[in-house]
Amino acid sequence: MFSKPRQVETESELYEVAVRALMRRAHSVHEMKQKLARRSDNKLLVQLVMARLKENGLIDDARYAKQFARQRTETRKQGKFRIARDLRARGVPDRHIEPALEEAAQETDEAAIVRQRIERKLRAFRGPDTRKPTKPPSSASASSASCAPFAAPIQTKIKAKRSTTRSSPRFTAASSAPASPPT
């Protein structure tokens, strides 16, 4: 699908390719070697450019692993096993992965991340809420909504007290109550 990138012949051109790639995003040493090998058939030239990048401090697997682990834990909320797998796939040695994961673990609560992920998966499994959306209470139903947490007998007493304070003095709570309990 993609054609082979234009081949470069000089060290300065290959170095420019590497710097432009690093300006877009950070690369591991392995990734950069692969990228440069696609652009030049001269293996010695690739080694020279890699040595120059390391000498200038532009490429470093330890720094890359720390940055990658921090970014994945903070923004994507990924766990240490997933991050370690991705770093290994990018060619980062294990000696750089372990310290990077330990540093990232100090800054995050992995148990909370797991709980959030489980809740999100459960919500997705249950599906969207298909119930009718509730309307905000109107003034007539607002008085009954404020009694909602109480049991039914207490609600009737509260409503009766409210009605006595709002209505005329001839209406009392005793007259609104039923004369005898139902049988």
CA 108/CA 74 separation, integer angstroms: 8
Q: Which residues, given as ranges, of the chain have pLDDT below 50? A: 146-150, 171
Residue ranges making up the domain that contains 96: 60-127
Task: Report the domain count for the chain.
Answer: 2
What tokens does 175 get?
């007259």
Task: Please check whether residues 55 and 70 belong to one and the same domain.
Answer: no
Report the pLDDT value the prediction gives residue 44, as an integer from 0 to 100. 94
Report the pLDDT value the prediction gives residue 70, as an integer from 0 to 100. 93
Alpha-carbon dihedral sign for residues 47, 61, 89, 98? positive
Query: Do the domain assignments include residue 132?
Result: no
Task: Please check whether residues 97 and 53 belong to one and the same domain.
Answer: no
End residue of a domain, out of 127, 142, 164: 127
Query: Do the domain assignments include residue 149?
Result: no
Report the pLDDT value the prediction gives residue 147, as an integer from 0 to 100. 46
Task: Please check whether residues 80 and 111 belong to one and the same domain.
Answer: yes
Task: Please check whether residues 90 and 55 belong to one and the same domain.
Answer: no
Coil/strand/helix, residue 155:
helix
Report the pLDDT value the prediction gives residue 76, as an integer from 0 to 100. 86
Q: Assess contact for 161 and 146: CB atoms under 8 A.
A: no
Report the pLDDT value the prediction gives residue 139, as an integer from 0 to 100. 55
CA 104/CA 124 separation, integer angstroms: 28
- The structure's pTM equals 0.61
